[in-house]
Structure 1
Amino acid sequence: MKQIQLGNDTFEGRNSVYLLGHTTDAAGPLTLVDTGVATDATDAELRAALAECGVDYADLDRILLTHWHYDHAGLAGQIQTESGAEVYVHEADAPLVAQDPEATEAVRELQFEEFADWGMPAAKRAELESFFEGSEDLRGEPVDVTPVTDGDRLAAGEHEVRVVHLPGHAAGLVAYVFEREGRREAFLGDSVLPKYTPNVGGADVRVEEPLANYLASLERVVDLDLDRGWPGHRGPIFAPTARAHDIAEHHAERAERVLAVLREHGPATPWEVSAELFGSLSNVHIMHGPGEAYAHLDHLAARGWAERTDDGYTLAADAPVDVHLDALRGESGQ
């Protein structure tokens, strides 16, 4: 297996993609996990890195995508055009990778409904729309996709990988779990990252109850008991279980912070809470900031710790000051 890091100036940090099966002709289908964003610079960077392994786009047999975001799936169409490679992605994200017009338009309409609901100012909505228009080419060419679902098994290079659905950051985000040299490892996409926490709520507005889903996905990562994780950005995670615990605890701390904002400034919209959490925002963060604030407010309301009103969210009478992770994970009304 070879990890390849690719530039990414538009979204969060350097992308990591993975080449499997290049070391021996008997290793099974030559496979790339994720592709990077569809820019000329990233395309050239990926071609050069593959060439160091004696591989061209035309040699690739299959591509496994962790989710639909452009910085993970953008070059899949170009590679498929040159190679005929099969492209696998979870069924929830397949229409977006295929660039189905109805699915794409439905996401855009839902985004702008949510932006209004979050209280996003008109000027910031216009700035975000301009960013979207300037980023449209980054999704690359349409892809002929093969949908997968939780529990499916696929050959990838010298390994058999198992698909594990981990919704939260994206509706169709998956990990690909495999065994190597007595270790259990996984390509994690953006479910768990080594340096920062994946955005929840803004990165994919299709996800219902985004924080609850994401916390459940983190629990599933813990249950996988991985020895090593290979994320969609930056370097390997050598203690995936501990990192998943840390991210979950981060969300408990953020929930405390959101409650504190409501205690001091409520009622408040997701945009107003976002301003207290993250300050001024630009580009894609105009969507990510209030989206994450909304994910927390929505979850706190489900827990009975906040209430939604016409003027925004307010603090409930029995809201805690200290948020314990087990309580944050609990079902509504408990």
Structure 2
Amino acid sequence: MKRIQLGNTVFEGKNDVYLLDGETTVLVDTGVATAAVRDQLRSELAEFSVEFADVDEILVTHWHYDHAGLAGEIQAESDAVVRVHEADAPLVAGEESALSAENETTRRKLREWGLPDDRREELLEFLSEHESLAGRPAEVTPFADGDTFAIDGREFEAVHLPGHSAGLSAFAFEGDAGEEAFVGDAILPKYTPNVGGADVRLDAPLELYVDSLVRFIDRDFDRAWPGHRDVIDEPSARAATILEHHRERTENVVGVLREQGPSDPWTVSAALFGDLKNIHVLHGPGEAYAHLAHLAERGVAERDGNAYELVDENPDIDDLFPTVDDSA
């Protein structure tokens, strides 16, 4: 297995593409569809005597442009099988109905989150200008949680871990360290993956992500290969750290509501993150929304219109999150 790190100036940190170059040539993720990244990927693959035309299969961890952007183009040169979880497959396939629905949901949620008109239009313009990063649509082969793929005598298991996106999936396999997995953005070594703004299709993104983190910890992988930056040698501990981060952020959101009274996600986002630019104008209030929705689901807050109000001024935050053992 070879790791290729690609430049990425739009999203968080260098993208990791993984090359499995046995009898079957496989890529895990592809990078974003820009000329610079395309050329870099071609050059990096050439170092291993691989061309786009040689690729037999592409395993896509999730639909985001920096992971699936070049899948369609590589497939056009190679006729590779492109595997994507069924929840994300329509977006990677470029299905008009799915793209239109995602666009409309984005617009609706930006209004519900309380973005001022000028900031909303600024964000929509930014998103429109970057639509080309999605690249050429691919003909996809959907998979479901638990499906397995036999590649060169090794079995890869799809492990569905929604939250950051509806279809985000890891690919688990037996490696040199024991049970390993390509995990996309399920966990990252430095950043905490955005929840709420990264996939507006999810109505309970934090709850889904918390469940995914617990499942991930319970799997007790020995090593994780993320979609950005470097290998994670203690993945359960990292997942537990991210879970604790969300517990602390929820506590901060409660503090904002306690201090400011009923607030919409944009107001809470401003208190948490300050002024935001570019894609973070989406991710900030989306993150705030995810935590506010979690509080409402647990009866700590109530939604009235677009604002959320505390109904429990002093909740036990620990009761809102599971206790996990990352030392198994």
TM-score normalized with structure 2 length: 0.96
| 8 Å Cα contact 1:28/1:155 also seen in 2 | no
CA 1:157/1:236 → structure 2, altered by over 3 Å: closer, same or farther? farther
CA 1:33/1:241 → structure 2, altered by over 3 Å: closer, same or farther? same
Separation (CA, whole Å) in 2 of partners of 1:202 and 1:182: 34
- Note the residue ranges of structure 1 that are not aligned, 5 or more in a row: none
Percent identity, aligned pairs only?
57
Q: How does 1:126-275 map to 2 (within 5 A)?
A: 126-157=121-152, 159-181=154-176, 183-275=178-270
Give the secondary structure class of the aligned counterpart of 1:188. Answer: strand
Separation (CA, whole Å) in 2 of partners of 1:251 and 1:290: 15
Separation (CA, whole Å) in 1 of partners of 2:306 and 2:167: 33
- Structure 1 residue 308 displacement after superposition: 1.2
What amino acid is the match of 2:3?
Answer: Q
Deviates more, 1:27-36 or 1:66-75: 27-36
| 8 Å Cα contact 1:304/1:319 also seen in 2 | no
- Structure 1 residue 300 displacement after superposition: 0.4
Give the secondary structure class of the aligned counterpart of 1:131. Answer: helix
Residue 298 of structure 1 aligns with which residue?
293
Separation (CA, whole Å) in 2 of partners of 1:195 and 1:214: 17
The answer to whether residue 31 in structure 2 is matched with residue 36 in structure 1 is yes
Give the secondary structure class of the aligned counterpart of 1:195. Answer: coil
CA 1:311/1:91 → structure 2, altered by over 3 Å: closer, same or farther? closer
TM-score normalized with structure 1 length: 0.94
CA 1:8/1:157 → structure 2, altered by over 3 Å: closer, same or farther? farther
What amino acid is the match of 1:118?
Answer: W
What amino acid is the match of 2:264?
Answer: T
Residue 69 of structure 1 aligns with which residue?
64
Separation (CA, whole Å) in 1 of partners of 2:305 and 2:277: 27
The answer to whether residue 93 in structure 2 is matched with residue 98 in structure 1 is yes
Aligned residues: 323
- Structure 1 residue 157 displacement after superposition: 4.9
| 8 Å Cα contact 1:31/1:157 also seen in 2 | no
- Structure 1 residue 323 displacement after superposition: 1.9
Separation (CA, whole Å) in 1 of partners of 2:58 and 2:306: 47
| 8 Å Cα contact 2:112/2:306 also seen in 1 | no
Segments ≥4 residues shifted beyond 2 Å:
155-159, 326-330
The answer to whether residue 293 in structure 2 is matched with residue 328 in structure 1 is no
Residue 9 of structure 2 aligns with which residue?
9
- Note the residue ranges of structure 2 that are not aligned, 5 or more in a row: 324-328
Separation (CA, whole Å) in 1 of partners of 2:176 and 2:277: 44
Give the secondary structure class of the aligned counterpart of 2:130. Answer: helix
The answer to whether residue 113 in structure 2 is matched with residue 121 in structure 1 is no
Deviates more, 1:155-164 or 1:76-85: 155-164
| 8 Å Cα contact 1:229/1:240 also seen in 2 | yes
Superposition RMSD on alpha carbons, in Å?
1.3
- Structure 1 counterpart of 2:284, from 289, 292, 298: 289
Give the secondary structure class of the aligned counterpart of 1:37. Answer: coil
Separation (CA, whole Å) in 1 of partners of 2:306 and 2:64: 33
Separation (CA, whole Å) in 1 of partners of 2:32 and 2:185: 14
Separation (CA, whole Å) in 2 of partners of 1:101 and 1:264: 44
Give the secondary structure class of the aligned counterpart of 2:127. Answer: helix
